[in-house]
């Protein structure tokens, strides 16, 4: 049994990362095992960059830690914002859950500002976002706002965003919302911007982003045979295809890992 265990561990340690032949258009990219945190592929993974609306994964994570989905929030004029919008109206009352759908599906910058009421306002909420980033080990990340609008003090890395994605997929309410293709909220029909949900089997969603300075950003998660991987691309003009290719290669790499784990489990059962 001991010899078999050593041999199996040797195999696991020697499983290669995703082949160098994988090419992505992204300036920075990471493919990571969502369970172990093992990096399977990386390109400029530690380079600090603008992250646009993928920021909203942290916004949603912090909001769900602070408030209950049924909490009612009153929209004010201060919550109006430029860019992508849920088209909130001052005086409107919505639950935190409804606002989070607007945040995660149609990427509402107004929804992002409204959910900061969970912490009593914008500044304390952003401070909590940075505290959460530190707790997750996101050492090269700093948030200046909850919506991802460009700011010199607002940045992250592909590696850090992959760590955020791992936390996000372990928050059931967030994952449920991020994987929803369409929702009706207050007379609005909200459609998820993440086209991978319809294009790729096993995609669990997460978050898109875009500004002119940041380019296209995308954080996603996919599951196959009980394994979950997360992928992050920053400044990527071909992100849908890049994510699909990364997952195809990543799950191929993990097949022998799964086989070894199955063998170890059977050996342990026989030894009992």
Q: Which residues contact 266 (CB under 8 A, 6 or more apart)?
A: none
Q: Is 85 part of the annotated catalytic residue set?
A: no
Distance CA 191, CA 188 (A): 10
**What does each C-alpha distance from 125 to 63, 79, 177, 199, 260 come to in angstroms?**
8, 14, 21, 35, 45
Which one from 36, 43, 53, 224 is the annotated catalytic residue?
53
Q: What is the 3-state secondary structure (H, E, C) of 82-106?
A: CCCCCCCCCCCEEEHHHHHHHHHCC
Phi and psi dihedrals of 163, rounded to 5?
Answer: -65, -40
Distance CA 42, CA 169 (A): 20
Question: Among residues 253, 215, 198, which one has the least CA distance to residue 31?
Answer: 253
Which one from 84, 107, 156, 220 is the annotated catalytic residue?
107
Q: Is 184 part of the annotated catalytic residue set?
A: no
Q: Is 107 part of the annotated catalytic residue set?
A: yes
Which one from 25, 36, 43, 56 is the annotated catalytic residue?
56
Query: What amino acid positions are annotated as catalytic residues?
Result: 53, 56, 107
């Amino acid at each position: 049994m001991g010899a078999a265990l050593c041999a199996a561990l040797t195999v696991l340690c020697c499983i290669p990362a995703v082949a160098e032949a994988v090419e992505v258009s992204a300036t920075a990219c990471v493919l990571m095992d969502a369970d172990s945190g093992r990096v399977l592929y990386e390109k400029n993974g530690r380079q600090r960059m603008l992250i646009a609306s993928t920021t909203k994964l942290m916004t949603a994570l912090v909001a769900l830690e602070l408030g209950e989905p049924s909490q009612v929030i009153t929209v004010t004029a201060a919550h109006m914002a430029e860019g992508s919008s849920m088209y909130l109206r001052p005086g409107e009352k919505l639950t935190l859950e409804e606002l989070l759908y607007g945040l995660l599906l149609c990427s509402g910058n107004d929804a992002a500002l409204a959910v900061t009421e969970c912490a009593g306002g914008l500044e304390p909420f952003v401070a909590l976002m940075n505290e959460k980033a530190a707790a997750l080990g996101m050492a090269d990340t700093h948030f200046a706002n909850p919506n991802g609008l460009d700011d010199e003090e607002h940045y992250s890395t592909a590696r850090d965003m992959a760590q955020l994605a791992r936390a996000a997929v372990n928050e059931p309410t967030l994952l449920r919302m991020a994987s929803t293709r369409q929702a009706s909220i207050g007379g609005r029909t909200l459609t998820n911007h993440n086209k991978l949900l319809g294009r790729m089997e096993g995609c669990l969603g997460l978050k898109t982003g875009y500004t002119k300075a940041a380019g296209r950003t995308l954080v996603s998660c996919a599951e196959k045979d009980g394994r979950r991987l997360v992928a992050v691309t920053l400044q990527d003009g071909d992100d849908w295809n890049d994510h699909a290719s990364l997952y195809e290669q990543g799950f191929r790499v993990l097949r022998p890992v799964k086989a070894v784990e199955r063998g170890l489990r059977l050996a342990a059962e026989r030894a009992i």
